[in-house]
């Protein structure tokens, strides 16, 4: 398997150009307000519940310059006054040089910037990569951080990678005081287990920059994409999480945070 660094390097084009899978002009679930959402190509993880396997490859996609995206936002800027731009994927950090370029220009024009990431490519031991992360974070208003599984062994089974970099990225964002929304997909028999939810709450209680927590119930809406791509869908027999189970998962998670902090956590989904 190729290293994360090799894949990250391979996926980068000129810093002003990105491989874009698709664009959503008026997104409402990827950050605060109405947002222009850019889905970037490329992801090194293979999450079993991923509903966008068509974004994994670093090949194909539409080549777009940062100015093209910004001009598209400006044409409808009145709709984004309480929102902004969100870069997601795939794993957008695989095209970090482009993100720096895009978010820098966005901030210069007063556009709120949001990054939806797993943080898998974070490595504070690599000075060059850390400098890039710091540059990106300096122009990022909000991080949507996807924590797939709190247990390192189970995380590897679920995604094909350890969660070490991801949890360290969460700690680094806390050190830098970058606002974060935590996203956690709850899958029956995988992440929908009391001990794992309690452990996740314990970890989140150590962070001081978490503004909101989203418990996302597992669904199978991406199955057809796997069929179209000729991929096997690993969770085809897994039941979808019910609303009652999702509510209970959130309760366990929040109870754990309160047990460790002494305070109730209340999500703030504003800017």
Mean pLDDT taken over the chain: 93
Model confidence pLDDT, tens digit, residues 81-139: 999 999 999 999 999 999 999 999 999 999 999 999 999 999 999 999 999 999 999 99
24-70 confidence digits (pLDDT tens) = 999 999 999 999 999 999 999 999 999 899 999 988 899 999 999 99
Does the model's pTM come out above 0.85?
A: yes
Model confidence over 155-173: pLDDT tens digits? 999 999 999 999 999 999 9
**Are the CB atoms for 114 and 38 separated by under 8 Å?**
no
Backbone angles phi, psi at 205, to 5 degrees: -65, -15
Tell me which long-range contacts 246-251 makes (C-beta under 8 A, separation of at least 24): 246/186, 246/215, 246/217, 249/186, 249/192, 249/197, 249/215, 250/213, 250/215
């Amino acid at each position: 398997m190729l290293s994360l660094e090799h894949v990250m390097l391979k996926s980068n084009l000129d810093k002003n150009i990105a491989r874009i899978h698709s664009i959503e002009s008026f997104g409402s679930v990827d950050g605060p307000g109405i947002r222009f959402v850019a889905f970037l190509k490329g992801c090194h993880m293979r999450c079993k519940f991923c509903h966008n396997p068509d974004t994994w490859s670093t090949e194909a996609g539409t080549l777009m310059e940062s100015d093209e995206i910004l001009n598209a936002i400006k044409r409808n800027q009145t709709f984004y006054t309480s929102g902004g731009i969100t870069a997601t994927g795939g794993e957008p950090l695989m095209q970090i040089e482009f993100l720096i370029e895009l978010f820098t220009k966005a901030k210069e024009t007063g556009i709120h910037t949001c990054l939806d990431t797993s943080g898998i490519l974070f490595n504070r031991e690599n000075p060059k990569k850390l400098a890039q992360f710091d540059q990106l974070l300096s122009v990022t208003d909000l991080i949507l951080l996807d924590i797939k599984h709190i247990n390192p062994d189970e995380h590897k089974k679920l995604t094909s990678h350890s969660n070490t970099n991801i949890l360290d990225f969460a700690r680094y964002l806390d050190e830098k005081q970058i606002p974060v929304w935590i996203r956690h997909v709850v899958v029956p028999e995988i992440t929908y287990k009391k001990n794992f939810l309690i452990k996740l709450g314990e970890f989140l209680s150590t962070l001081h920059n978490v503004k909101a927590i989203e418990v996302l119930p597992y669904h199978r809406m991406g199955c057809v994409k796997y069929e179209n791509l000729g991929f096997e869908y690993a969770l085809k027999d897994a039941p979808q999480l019910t609303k009652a189970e999702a509510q209970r998962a959130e309760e366990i998670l929040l109870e754990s945070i309160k047990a460790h902090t002494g305070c109730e956590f209340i999500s703030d989904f504003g800017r």
